[in-house]
Chains A and B, each alone.
Chain A
């Protein structure tokens, strides 16, 4: 605990701590919806698709800033989404294959551009390769301010449109039937995923950011049967993962923050799988034992009147 306070006393660490916490929170919230819409891997694809977008944005402007990267990644994300939609509609391929194709094409292009930038004459290109695996330590105050604004808007949008997002996640046909602009709302959700991904890339990297979208949501599902609670819990798990990741990585030298954050989220997942009140493995085992016991007891009671015969 002592070094936890010490960490928070360091102004630089404060930024990183706060940034990772916000990142976990917002990706946890938006991840709940993509998980329930069975689109967990869409987040992964959009994350990988963001890489070439970021590279091109850097090549055009020569500036490293979240805002500009957001635009680049956003455009790449829209193209990737369109690509996934086009492939699933106009070929016999299912969505998983389409996601795989789009993910690898964009990521391959991203790596090519990244190498090109590193060997080219692009001035201050150092640190761009950190987007692969992320480097939370590279975050500065202004980044965290941008992140706060984005995370706050993201959570606000999810709160305002909670009813709509719930309905299009559960029953899009019915949502359309009562006149909701389902396609528009779906695109909004997709856009929010892109935003969450881009915000997280600097800390966690394109490869691991999907974990922060999926894992807190999956963990939260183990604890509740109510969507509102699930979304809140997922945000909480994400935020705690970010906090834990920053703390552990600051306590031990040379541990990367992003990957440790992902491991922390996985820890929450294991705890949830085991101890979830209804769906958890232990709870399920207990229920089965109890049912078996009462069944045997009943059998015994029924067998008792028959003298001379042993029950079972």
Chain B
């Protein structure tokens, strides 16, 4: 970080998320090693890496959902546990049983639980907020729908609406684009743009390399260790991706990456 940038940071106050030395191990096997990074306020950040790279694990550990064996996570300068109200979270869609007896509106209302206190019940004000959030993801017509009767994309949008209802400043989204239809993908990206406009910071675990440049301001390349982190244009490069994905880059089309061209085929690169 340059002196000027450092100065700017001090003026802006603490970073929305500051992770240092975060490490996680399942049994004896380390799945995340010494991950350190700071995110800038109001950015959309894509977390990219191969399967088993620890993307979801990093997100869960940063949120304090799973125990870490080391490291520190600060949200706006304070420990994550003290800043729950500033954080919105969209878990993977497959992590819950959608046959649960509840409807879309009720799931979105869960986003308001955090500020209701222990014995408060969601009232008319919360319901109006929840409906508004459903509207923002284009799901207002489905408010009363039993959640098992929604398509995968619609379920994902309900989860997003729930996160919106949390009215947070920093959002964590675990693969919101996984297995959704085109309409949902568009709805999600519109929403991300709007959140950005409101000055919110969004960290997204993402799988589709083809859309990375289009969607994110910064990317974080992860494979157990942090491989690279920075503005998309400088970070989402052939060389850095190659390092992150190792030999598993076969599916990566050069045209996806800025600066990559068909010429590289001459080198006999297996990614052609």
Binding site for B on A (CB under 8 A): 36, 38, 160, 163-164, 166-167, 169-171, 173-174, 176-179, 221, 224-227, 229-230
The interface residues of chain B lying within 8 Å CB-to-CB of A226 are 101-103, 106
- Of the listed stretches B108-116, B197-205, B262-270, chain A binds B108-116
22 A-B contact pairs sorted by A residue (CB < 8 Å)? A36-B100, A38-B97, A164-B118, A166-B110, A170-B97, A170-B102, A170-B110, A171-B96, A173-B89, A173-B91, A173-B95, A174-B89, A174-B110, A174-B162, A177-B84, A177-B87, A177-B91, A178-B84, A178-B114, A179-B84, A226-B103, A226-B106
Q: Is B166 an interface residue (CB 8 A)?
A: yes
For the A-B complex with A160-B119, A174-B162, A179-B84 known, give 18 more contacts whose Cβ atoms are closer than 8 Å. Answer: A38-B97, A167-B110, A167-B113, A169-B100, A173-B60, A173-B65, A173-B91, A174-B89, A174-B91, A176-B64, A177-B89, A177-B91, A178-B89, A178-B166, A179-B114, A226-B103, A227-B100, A227-B101
* Whole-angstrom CA separation of A176 from B59 in the bound complex: 13
* Whole-angstrom CA separation of A179 from B115 in the bound complex: 10
List which B185-221 residues lie within 8 A (CB) of chain A.
none
Q: Is B81 an interface residue (CB 8 A)?
A: yes
The interface residues of chain B lying within 8 Å CB-to-CB of A229 are 101
Distance from B11 Cβ to chain A, minimum over Cβ atoms (Å): 30
The interface residues of chain A lying within 8 Å CB-to-CB of B60 are 173
Say whether B102 contacts A227, CB under 8 Å.
yes
* Whole-angstrom CA separation of A174 from B84 in the bound complex: 11
List which B61-100 residues lie within 8 A (CB) of chain A.
63-65, 81, 84, 87, 89, 91, 95-97, 100
Binding site for A on B (CB under 8 A): 60, 63-65, 81, 84, 87, 89, 91, 95-97, 100-103, 106-107, 110, 113-114, 116, 118-119, 121, 146, 162, 166
The interface residues of chain A lying within 8 Å CB-to-CB of B166 are 178
Say whether A171 contacts B84, CB under 8 Å.
no
A-B complex: 10 closest residue pairs judged by Cβ atoms: A178-B114, A179-B84, A177-B89, A225-B146, A173-B91, A171-B96, A170-B100, A227-B101, A176-B65, A230-B101
The interface residues of chain B lying within 8 Å CB-to-CB of A221 are 101
Say whether A163 contacts B113, CB under 8 Å.
yes
The interface residues of chain A lying within 8 Å CB-to-CB of B162 are 174
The interface residues of chain B lying within 8 Å CB-to-CB of A178 are 84, 89, 113-114, 166
* Whole-angstrom CA separation of A176 from B87 in the bound complex: 12
Say whether B81 contacts A179, CB under 8 Å.
yes
By beta carbon, the residue of chain A nearest B163 is A174
Distance from A237 Cβ to chain B, minimum over Cβ atoms (Å): 15
**A160, A164, A171, most chain B CB atoms within 10 A:** A171
Say whether A225 contacts B103, CB under 8 Å.
yes
* Whole-angstrom CA separation of A229 from B106 in the bound complex: 13
